[in-house]
Structure 1
Amino acid sequence: AAMKNLSVEAMSNRATPVWKIAGLCILLASLVWLVFGQTLGHQFVNLDDESYVYANPVVSQGLTAQAIGWASTHIVSHNWHPLTTISHMVDCQLFDLKPAGHHFTNVMLHTIAAILLLIVLHQMTGALWRSAFVAAIFAIHPLRVESVAWIAERKDVLSAVFFMLTIGAYVQFVRRPTFLRYLILSIFFALGLMSKPMLVTVPFVLLLLDYWPLRRFQTARSTISKLLLEKIPLLILAAPVAAVTVVIQRHGINSVENLSPPWRIGNAFVSLLIYIRQMLWPFDLAVFYPHSGDQLPLWQIAISSALFIAITAAVFVVRKQRPYFLSGWLWYVSMLAPVIGIIQVGSQAHADRYTYLPQIGLYLAATWGMADFSLRWPNGRLILRISAGFVLGLSMWRAWNQASFWRDSQSLWNHALTATDDNDLAHERLASALLDKDRPDEAIVQAQLAINLKADNASAQNDFGVALARRGQPEEAITHFWKALEADPNLSRLHYNIANVLVAKGDAAQATLHYQKQLEIDPNFAEAHNNFATLLLREGDLDQATDHLAKALQLKPNYAEARNNLAVALSQKGGFWQRLL
C-alpha cells in the first residue's frame, strides 16, 4: 500500500539487478575522473580562492573548535555557508595549502553527487538507462566545469550532495511516511542550506517531483493542500536562510546595483535562454561574462521573453501526455530564480556555475521526451543509443578542454578574453596574475586595457600602481592609487600598497594613516601588520611594533619575516631571552 504513492514506473526497481546499478555507478565515476582528474595538477586561481582559502587566515589554519564557531557566525565573500567554509578548513587540515588536495575534494563531491542522482532518479522512475544518461550528462557537461574545477565553488558540489540526499530521503518518506524519515529529510535539507543558500527553492522542487515522476497528484487521498502542508516545515527552515542571504548580498551588489528592475528582469529572461543555448552548444564558455547593463538589446529581451512564455505555455498544454516537460521546465526555472539577477550580486550577466543543479530539470525533460518520441521511429532505440553516445562523447571532449583552462590564473583569464568581448574584469585579473609572476610590464598593458573599458575599475588602477612601484616609479604609482581610492576607498590591499610607496618616499606620517586604515578594513591582513610594525620599529615605537608582529604571527604562524622582525623588536626592548620562537 505504501508504494501506491510512487510512480508506476518505479515498481520496476525491484527487477533491476544491483550489479547493473553498481556497474553504471563505476562507469559514471570513471567518466567524471577522465574529465576532471586533470584538475589535481591545477593551481589556485585569483578569483575568490584567496578569500575562501589560501589568503583567509582562519580557514587556512585548519579545523579547530574556534574556527568552526567562526564559520557559523561570519560571512565569507558575501555568503553565509558555514558547512562549505568548514569543508575548506578540513581540506587545509588534511592538505595544507597544496591545491591538489582541494581539487581532489571537489571532484570527489561531484562524483558522489552524480552517482546519487543516478540512484534517486532510478528510485523514482524505475527507468535505469534514462536515469543513467541524465546523471552522465549532468556529470560531464562543459557547464559543470566552473563548479568542479574552481575550488571557491566548493559550495556547488557540497550542496549538490545534500540536495541529492534530500531527494533520496524524500522518496523514502513518500514510500512510508514516518516522523523519523521526515526528520532525516529535514536534516539533509538543512545541511544543504548551510552549504549553499541557493537551495531555498528545494521545497518547490519536491512539489514538482510529487507531480512527476512520483505522481502523487493523481491519487485520491493526496490532495494538493496535503502536499503543500507537508512542505511547510521545510519552508520554515528555508525562510531565515533566504532572508539572511538577501540582507548579506544587498551589501555585495556591484556596479549594476542602480540598474532599474525592468533591465534586471530583461537580463533574467535573456539569461534563461542563454543557458539553454550553452547547454546545446557549449562553446565560448568563460569564467566571467560582463553585464550589458542598460545596453542589452531590446530585441534580445523581446525574443527571450516571448520564448519563455511560449515554452511555459507549451509544457502546460501537454502536461497530461508529457508530465515530465512541465516538471523539468519548472525545476529549471525555480532553481535558477535565486541567482537569475533580479537581485544583482556581482557584475556578471550570467554564470556557468548557476546551471549546476537547475539544468538537471532540462536534462530530465529532454531525455524522457527524446526516449518517448524515439519509440515511434523505425530503429528508434538504435538511433537513440548512437545519439546518446555522440552527445556524451562531445560533452566529454568539450568539458575536458574547458577544464584545462583552469590550470592557473593566467590561462583562465587569457581564455576568458578569447571567449568574451569588452571584459574589463578579465584584463584586470590577468594583470594581477602577471604581477604575481613578477611581470610588471605585461601587467601594465592589461591594467590599461581594463581601464580603457572601465575608467573607474579600482582594482585595475591599483594593479597599475603596483606595477609602476615595482618598476621604481613611485610618483606615477601614487597617481593610480589615488584614482583607485576615488573609485573604491575600501578596496582590498589598496591602503597597504599606498602605505608601502609612502614609506619608500620617506613619508612616515601618511604611511601610518594608510596602514591603520588598511587594518581597519581588514584586521586579519598579516602582511599589513608586519610592514606597519617595520615602520614603527624605525620610528622607535617598540611596544606597538611587537603587538603588530605578534598579531601577524598569530594569523600566519609560519611567517618567517614577521618572526625575524619580532626577534629584532624584542632584542631592542631588552627582552631577547624571552623569545619563545
Structure 2
Amino acid sequence: MSENTAFRKFNIERLGQPVFICLWLALVTLLVYVPVFQAQFIGLDDPDYVTGNPHVLSGITLANLRWAFVTNHTANWHPVTWISLMLNSQYFGSGAGAFHAVNLLLHVANTLLLFLWLLRATGAKWRGALVAALFALHPLHVESVAWISERKDVLSTLFWMLALLTYTDYAKTGRISRYFFALLLFGIGLMAKPMLVSLPFVLLLLDYWPLRRFAEHRTFRLLIEKLPFLALSIASSVVTLLVQREKAMTSLDTIPIFLRLENAVLAYVAYIGKMFSPTGLAVIYPYNLHPSAIRALLSLATLVVVSAAVIRIGRHKPYLFTGWFWFL
C-alpha cells in the first residue's frame, strides 16, 4: 500500500467514526421522540403562539414581520421565534404534527452540534457522544421538544450551539471573521430567547477549559474580547425587563427580594436532583411563598460547599470547574 493510499484510508476512518456517531445520535433521538408526531396542541400557551394567533397562521408577510419585531405578545420579545413559527405555518401547514416535527428536527440538530462542538473543543469522541446522548434523551428536555410553544427553547439552543462552535474555531485559529460570526449568531439567538444572556460568562469558562486560553493570553484581553457579547446581553436584558414589566411580571413586584433569593437557591438544588432522578416533572412549578428557612439554608450551604470543592479540585480537573459554574 502506497503512503498516499494509507493516508487517505486513515482520514476516511477518522472521519467515519464521527459520521457514524452523528447518524446513531440522530436515529436514536428520532426513535425515542416518535410519539410527539401524534401529539396535539395544548391549551397552555399554544393558542397564543399558534392556534389563536392570526399573524403566525397567515405566514410571512411584511405586516407580520413588522409585528414580530414590535410586539410584546406573550410578554416576550423574540422576533426570530415568531418568524420561525410563521415559516412553519406557511410551508408545512397549521397542523400540530408539522410544528412538532420541526421542534424535533431542531432538537436533533442541537444534539449533533453539541457532539461536534465537544469533538472540536476537546477531541474526546466517545465521551462527547455520551454527553450528547444524555442531552438528547434526558427527560428534562422532553418539555422543550414536545411542547410546541417551546419552539423558542430549541431554536435559541441552535444558535447557542452554533455560536459555541464558531467561537471555538476562532479561539483555535485566530480568524477574526469567526469572532464576529459568533457575535452575530449570539445576537440572533437572543432574539429567539433572551435566556442566552449568560453566553459571555460561559465563553470565559470555556477559555479556562477546554480551550485553555488563559495560559496563552492575558486575562485583560480575554475580558475585553467579551465586551461586545456582554453589550448584547445587557441590551437583551433591558428589553426583556421592559416587556415583562408591562405585560407579565407585575405580580412579582410585590414579592420581597429575599423571598425570591430563597426560591432561587431551592430551585438550583431541586434541579440538580431532577437531573439524577427526573421524577415528578411538571410544566409549571408554583412559586413557593412560604419556603422552609432550614431547607433554604441547607441548599445554600450545599451550593457553597460544592463550589468550594470544585474550585479546589478544579486546578487538577478543570472540566469540573467549567461544568459546575456553567450550571450555576
Q: What's the TM-score once normalised by structure 2's chain length?
A: 0.94
2:324 is the counterpart of 1:329: yes
2:200 is the counterpart of 1:203: yes
Aligned-partner Cα distance in 2 for 1:176–1:76: 42
Please state how far the C-alpha of 1:237 moved relative to its aligned partner: 2.1
Within the candidate set 147, 172, 182, 2:169 is matched to 172
Q: In the superposition, relative to structure 1, how do residues 16 and 212 fare at CA in structure 2: closer, same or farther (>3 Å)?
A: farther
Q: Which residue of 1 aligns with 2:259?
A: 263
Within the candidate set 29, 32, 44, 1:32 is matched to 29
Please state how far the C-alpha of 1:273 moved relative to its aligned partner: 0.5
**Within 5 A, what are the aligned runs for 1:208-287?**
208-219=205-216, 222-251=217-246, 252-253=248-249, 255-287=251-283
Please state how far the C-alpha of 1:332 moved relative to its aligned partner: 0.7
Q: Which residue of 1 aligns with 2:285?
A: 289
Within the candidate set 123, 127, 130, 2:127 is matched to 130
Please state how far the C-alpha of 1:198 moved relative to its aligned partner: 0.7
Please state how far the C-alpha of 1:304 moved relative to its aligned partner: 0.5
Q: Which residue of 1 aligns with 2:48?
A: 51
Aligned-partner Cα distance in 2 for 1:16–1:304: 48
Aligned-partner Cα distance in 1 for 2:228–2:46: 35
Q: Percent identity?
A: 40
**Within 5 A, what are the aligned runs for 1:570-581?**
none
Aligned-partner Cα distance in 1 for 2:155–2:277: 27
Aligned-partner Cα distance in 2 for 1:182–1:289: 38
**Within 5 A, what are the aligned runs for 1:541-560?**
none
Please state how far the C-alpha of 1:288 moved relative to its aligned partner: 1.6
Within the candidate set 20, 23, 28, 2:17 is matched to 20
**Within 5 A, what are the aligned runs for 1:350-365?**
none
Aligned-partner Cα distance in 1 for 2:88–2:127: 35
2:307 is the counterpart of 1:312: yes
For residue 73 of structure 2, give the secondary structure of its aligned residue in structure 1. Answer: coil
Within the candidate set 143, 148, 154, 1:151 is matched to 148
Aligned-partner Cα distance in 2 for 1:186–1:16: 34
Please state how far the C-alpha of 1:161 moved relative to its aligned partner: 0.7
Please state how far the C-alpha of 1:117 moved relative to its aligned partner: 0.2
Within the candidate set 98, 102, 107, 1:110 is matched to 107
Q: In the superposition, relative to structure 1, how do residues 267 and 314 fare at CA in structure 2: closer, same or farther (>3 Å)?
A: same
For residue 185 of structure 2, give the secondary structure of its aligned residue in structure 1. Answer: helix
Please state how far the C-alpha of 1:255 moved relative to its aligned partner: 4.0
Structure 1 segments of 4+ aligned residues over 3 angstroms from their partners: 254-257
Please state how far the C-alpha of 1:33 moved relative to its aligned partner: 1.0
Aligned-partner Cα distance in 2 for 1:236–1:287: 32
Aligned-partner Cα distance in 2 for 1:262–1:26: 48
Deviations 1:135-182 (A, max 9, x none): 110111000011110000001100111101000000111122233222
Please state how far the C-alpha of 1:35 moved relative to its aligned partner: 1.8
Q: Which amino acid aligns with 1:250?
A: R
2:79 is the counterpart of 1:94: no
Please state how far the C-alpha of 1:20 moved relative to its aligned partner: 0.6
Q: In the superposition, relative to structure 1, how do residues 217 and 301 fare at CA in structure 2: closer, same or farther (>3 Å)?
A: same
Aligned-partner Cα distance in 1 for 2:58–2:115: 37
Aligned Cα RMSD in Å? Answer: 1.4
Please state how far the C-alpha of 1:289 moved relative to its aligned partner: 1.6
Please state how far the C-alpha of 1:256 moved relative to its aligned partner: 4.4
Please state how far the C-alpha of 1:65 moved relative to its aligned partner: 2.1
Aligned-partner Cα distance in 2 for 1:16–1:119: 17
Q: Which residue of 1 aligns with 2:191?
A: 194
Within the candidate set 78, 90, 96, 1:81 is matched to 78
Aligned-partner Cα distance in 2 for 1:88–1:117: 24
Give ranges in structure 2 of 5+ residues lacking alignment: 1-10
Aligned-partner Cα distance in 1 for 2:128–2:160: 17
Q: Which amino acid aligns with 2:298?
A: I
Give ranges in structure 1 of 5+ residues lacking alignment: 1-13, 334-581
Q: Which amino acid aligns with 2:148?
A: I
Please state how far the C-alpha of 1:275 moved relative to its aligned partner: 0.5
Q: What's the TM-score once normalised by structure 1's chain length?
A: 0.53
Number of equivalences: 317
